[in-house]
Amino acid sequence: MTVIIRDFRPDDRQDAEGFAHVRHLALPFMLHTPESVPYDVLHAHPDAHYQPLVAEADGEIIGTAQVGLAHDSPDPGQGYVNVYVHPERTRRGAGALLVATAERRLAALGATRLFAWVLDSPENRAFAEKHGYRPSRSAHFLRLDLANGTLPTLQELPADVELRKGSDFADDPRPLFLVDAETMADEPSDISHEFTDYEAWLEETWHHPLFSAELTSVAVVDGRPAAFSMARTDGSTRYGTVMTGTSRAHRGRGLAKLAKNDSLHRARAAGFTEAFTGNDDGNGPMLAINKWFGYEICATEVRHVRELT
C-alpha cells in the first residue's frame, strides 16, 4: 500500500470529512467538524503559512498534520507540526512521511525550532524521540459527563456582578477580546505571543463555526466584562471550553468559576451530554477549578521541541 502525502484541500468536502474523521478518532477530546477544518485553513493569518497535510492510501485519508508558523510570536523562526494518524492505520509510514514533509516545508519558510504535541504513550514518545524531538511540558485533556454527572449549584452573584451571554456582545465583541488577550498573555506556554490583532481574533475566534456565543458566559463588573468562559460545540452533543479567564484587576474573586458554571448549566439544558476542556499541567488553579466541577483527566499530551540545524 503506497502512502501519498499532499496538501489538504479546503474546498474538497471529502478532504474535510476525512481530516475531521481522523482527528476525531485519534483525538476525540477536541472538537473538529467538516466545517471547522477548512475554515481554519481559509481564515488563518497569511503570515502563519498554515497548510495542513494529509496522508492518503488507496484514496483514504489515514493521517493528518497541522503545519504552520507562530506568526504572532515576537521570536521569529518558530513553527509547529502536530501529526495524528488513524488508530487503525498505523505502522504504514504515514506519520514519518508527514513529519518529514512538514519539516522540509517549515525549514523553507525559515523555521529553526519546531514544536509538536504528542499524545502521551510509550509508542508516541519513542516516535517523537526517533525524529529528534525532546519533551518540554505536558497538558491534560479533561472530560465531564453532562448527561449523568452533577454540576455544582449555581451560586448567588456578588452585588456588583452580572452574568451575561457572549451573544449579548454581538454588536461589539471587542471588550471580550481585551479580556481574552490579557488572559492569553498569562497562560503557560513555551512560545510567547503578542495577542493584539483584533481583526484576526474576530476571524479565528468570534466567527469560528464551532464557537457558541450563546453558550459563552461573561461576568460583568460595573458594566465591563471582567471574566468569561468561552464555549465551542460540534452542533450535536459535544461541548468544549476553549478558554476561561479573568482580567488581572478582578482576579481572586471566583468570577471565572461563576462564568464557567453558568455556561455548563446552560449547555446541559441545551442538550449537550459531554463537556471537554484542556489544562496545562502547571496551571494548578484551573485544574483545581475543573476538578471542583467534576472533570476527570482523560488523556495527556506532551509538548515536544526540535531544533533545526
pLDDT digits (tens, 9 = 90+) for 239-291: 999 999 999 999 999 999 999 999 999 999 999 999 999 999 888 888 888 99
Residues 275, 173 share a domain: yes
Residues 151, 100 share a domain: no
For residue 81, is it within any domain? yes
Residues 174, 90 share a domain: no
For residue 36, is it within any domain? yes
Q: Among candidates 69, 67, 56, 58, which has minimal Cα distance to 19?
A: 56
Q: Among candidates 211, 213, 217, which has minimal Cα distance to 233?
A: 211
pLDDT digits (tens, 9 = 90+) for 31-54: 999 999 999 999 999 999 999 999
pLDDT digits (tens, 9 = 90+) for 68-103: 999 888 888 999 999 999 999 999 999 999 999 999
Measuring CA to CA, how many Å separate 82 from each of 50, 54, 154?
Answer: 12, 12, 38
CA 75/CA 105 separation, integer angstroms: 19
Q: Looking at residue 188, what is its pLDDT?
A: 67
Residues 182, 92 share a domain: no
Residue 191, pLDDT > 80, answer no
> Average pLDDT for residues 191-203, to the nearest whole number?
82
Residue 190, pLDDT > 80, answer no
For residue 306, is it within any domain? no
Residue 194, pLDDT > 70, answer no
271 φ, ψ (degrees, to nearest 5): 100, 5
Beta strands in 47-184 (DSSP E): 53-57, 60-69, 78-85, 113-119, 134-145, 161-165
Handedness of CA 166, 171, 225, 156 (dihedral sign): negative
Residues 162, 59 share a domain: no
CATH number of the structural domain spanning residue 257 = 3.40.630.30
Residue 309, pLDDT > 80, answer no
Q: Looking at residue 250, what is its pLDDT?
A: 95
**Three cell numbers written together for 173:** 465583541
The boundaries of the domain holding residue 67 are 3-111
For residue 172, is it within any domain? yes
